[in-house]
Structure 1
Amino acid sequence: MVNQKVVIYLLFSLFVLVLNWEAQQHIAVASHHEEVSQEEAIRLRILANSDAIKDQWLKREIRDEVNQSITEWVQDIEDLEQAKATIEGNLAEIEQIVERQLKSIGLDQTFTVEFNRVDFPTKLYGNLVYPAGEYDAVLITLGEGKGENWWCVLFPPLCFLDFTNGDVAEHEEETEEETSDEVVVEFFVVNLANNVFDWVKNVF
């Protein structure tokens, strides 16, 4: 019985050590990322009319032109408030961009362009983490706005990094690897715990 208690104690200690190691791994991963405050960025969100191919294509065309124009407006600006004033002062130009794209394909569709506080999910751009919350943003809603949306950071300008989903393209593989590593570690811990508990149950 004494030997069994010693073995159980050792296995439990190993289990605690593994849990501690996993926690340290999570801390190490977090230390490589810098969280950006909602008050330090201006963002862009475009809501497509629907998920139809034509509506998604239109969203991407508008995205490209809007991003190019806004990047030119703010590329020499370092002050957030100045960038905000510049973008707000050019909302009419953004509306014209959207209207031109609609006319170019002969689509009679309503749209809105506004600069407001807009909700965003948590997003990772390289080593920068933009937590979920409200940001000052240009929000473009096409038609019913029920399609897949797209977002990026207008200031400081990060839209050019990846037009697919708002992430930094070259870091997608790294992010996937980190996620995979976490899953492996968690599986190992759960598997170890199950083995320990099964062994204890069989002993007693």
Structure 2
Amino acid sequence: MNFKVLFYLLFFVFILVMNWESQNYMAAASFHDEVSQEEAIRLRILANSDAIKDQVLKRDIRDEVNATITDWVLHIDSMEEAKDVIEANLDEIAAIVEKKLANNGINQSFSVEFNRVQFPTKLYGHLVYPAGEYEAVLITLGSGKGENWWCVLFPPLCFLDFSNGDAVEHEGEVDSTETEKEEVEVKFFVIELFDTVKSWFTA
């Protein structure tokens, strides 16, 4: 095949891919709604370590704490009211943690706080929670050096996927993991294509 024809063909494919990626990004951006840090109360649990025993304990505590707090705030519309209810019942959350430790025969320190806590960017269905400090229940188990888990307590968004500890998408919503995977594959393709064309010019 003539070199010029091949070059123009590859260049045309490159333009098509870039256009597709741009449209995909714009569609995703229009689909997502960003949530203010002042509109949510979140939960973060720090495991003692990444050891299986510590991670199982973290998930056990997560499940009961999430179920309990969700029951408290499920029919509350006010952020301030939800905050007051949670703060007033921190002792009950601590009692859950203490019970789980005892049931598992683990002698370990822990703390339960309600404070401003730093979170990374997180996507729940079409809602984007940007990185920053949020009002949150922070549970630290032991040294708190293990893999942590987080979700949104108010409005309640802790729909649990118990296989991996993430909040799951509602049916029909975009799976952010698959979207990110597709974007990475496209970017690698574009980079490889660019490197190929560049090598032809420099050969």
Structures share a fold, TM > 0.5?
Answer: yes
* Aligned equivalents of 1:180, 1:57: Cα separation in 2: 28
Find runs of 4+ consecutive structure 1 residues off by over 4 angstroms. 7-18, 169-173
Deviation at 1:138, TM superposition (A): 0.2
Equivalent positions of 1:36-47 (< 5 A) are 36-47=35-46
Q: Larger deviation: 145-154 or 160-169? A: 160-169
* Aligned equivalents of 1:83, 1:181: Cα separation in 2: 38
3-state SS of 1:154 partner = strand
3-state SS of 2:146 partner = coil
Q: Contact 1:161 / 1:169 at 8 angstroms: preserved in 2?
A: no
TM-score normalised by L of structure 2: 0.83
Structure 2 unaligned residues grouped into runs of 5+ = none
Question: Which residue identity does 1:168 align to in structure 2?
Answer: V
User: Between Structure 1 and Structure 2, whose CA radius of gyration is higher?
Assistant: 1
3-state SS of 1:107 partner = coil
Question: Which residue identity does 2:101 align to in structure 1?
Answer: L
Question: Which residue identity does 2:180 align to in structure 1?
Answer: T
Structure 1 unaligned residues grouped into runs of 5+ = none
* Aligned equivalents of 1:16, 1:89: Cα separation in 2: 58
Cα RMSD (Å): 2.9
Please state which structure has a larger fraction of its residues in helix: 1
Q: Contact 2:41 / 2:155 at 8 angstroms: preserved in 1?
A: yes
- Residue 57 of structure 2 corresponds to which residue in structure 1? 58
Q: Contact 2:59 / 2:165 at 8 angstroms: preserved in 1?
A: no
- Residue 162 of structure 1 corresponds to which residue in structure 2? 161
Deviation at 1:136, TM superposition (A): 0.4
- Residue 183 of structure 1 corresponds to which residue in structure 2? 184
- Residue 137 of structure 1 corresponds to which residue in structure 2? 136
3-state SS of 1:159 partner = coil
Q: Larger deviation: 100-109 or 134-143? A: 100-109
Q: Could you report, residue by residue, the CA deviation over 1:147-175 in whole angstroms, capped at 9, with x for unpaired residues? A: 11111110011113434333315689933
The share of aligned pairs that are identical, in percent, is 64
* Aligned equivalents of 2:7, 2:159: Cα separation in 1: 56
